Amino acid sequence: MKGALLSWQKVWTLSQRWYGDRMSPAFRGRTLNDARAIFASLDLTDDFWMGD
Amino acid sequence: MLDQMDWDIRLFVYRLFASRGFPPNVEEITRHFHMAVPGTKRALHRLHKSHALFLRPGSDDILMANPLSAVATDYQVSIGKRRLYANCAWDALGIPAMLHADARIAARHPLDRDLVHFSIEDSRLSSESEGIVHFAKPFRNWYDNLIDT
């Protein structure tokens, strides 16, 4: 199967890091580097997550 | 480039959307910010272009403010008495993550159409069964067509 497979537990942790600040008045979006830092914090470092 | 008013509109959209389960329309936003309708529409399209929210194609109506969906989907999230819809499996967890709230999630499996139930309590996920989430597209392609993603 093409793509990436994650456990629900991992997706929950990813969700918390990705969406945890979404309602903050200070939220100003996320840069590519911000996104990659979140992925890297969960060891999502292959081309699927980090590729240009 | 988004200005402070654009970000204020975005936050208003998110707060109302999360509190009642559907987003504000152009008239509600216009009234709240004491704007003119054309200015509201331009702001929404700037927010859409910046991926801060997503409009229904060919309209000024908000379709998604990720993780929230304006239409019913296979991913229903209950927080207290509120019923919210997520755009995908990830967004179904994104809603309680965003709201820092306990939640019950009913997700319909895309292949066999069975319902799978999850809950978030005190920031802990529990589920009735093991399972995996499939991300079909690599990150670099997510915003090519977010509806399709």
Q: Which residues, in sequence order, are CB contacts of B42 under 8 Å at separation 6+?
A: none
Contacts of A14 in chain B (CB under 8 A): 90
pLDDT tens figures, A19-41? 999 999 999 999 889 999 999 99
Mutation for B interface: A14, A18, A19, most B CBs within 10 A:
A19
pTM of the model: 0.92
Whether the per-residue pLDDT at A3 is higher than 90: the answer is no
Domain B4-58 architecture: Orthogonal Bundle (1.10)
> Sign of the CA dihedral B17, B22, B26, B29?
negative
Whether the per-residue pLDDT at B145 is higher than 80: the answer is no
Report the pLDDT value the prediction gives residue B26, as an integer from 0 to 100. Answer: 98
Do strands B62-65 and B115-121 pair parallel, antiparallel, or not at all (unpaired)?
A: unpaired
Contacts of A6 in chain B (CB under 8 A): 132-133, 135
ipTM of the complex: 0.93
Q: Would you say the CATH fold of B69-127 matches that of B4-58?
A: no
Inter-chain contacts counted by CB atoms under 8 A, chains A and B: 89
Inter-chain CB proximity A35 and B11 less than 8 Å: no
Report the pLDDT value the prediction gives residue B90, as an integer from 0 to 100. Answer: 92
Closest-CA distance of chain A to residue B134, Å = 5
* Domain residue spans of chain B: 4-58, 69-127
Inter-chain CB proximity B118 and A19 less than 8 Å: no
Inter-chain CB proximity A11 and B123 less than 8 Å: no
pLDDT tens figures, B37-57? 999 999 999 999 999 999 999
The CATH number, out of the four listed (3.65.10.10, 3.30.70.141, 3.30.565.10, 3.15.10.60), of the domain defined by the range B69-127: 3.15.10.60
Tell me, rounded to whole angstroms, the distance of Cα B32 from its chain centroid: 21
3-state secondary structure (DSSP) of residue B43: helix
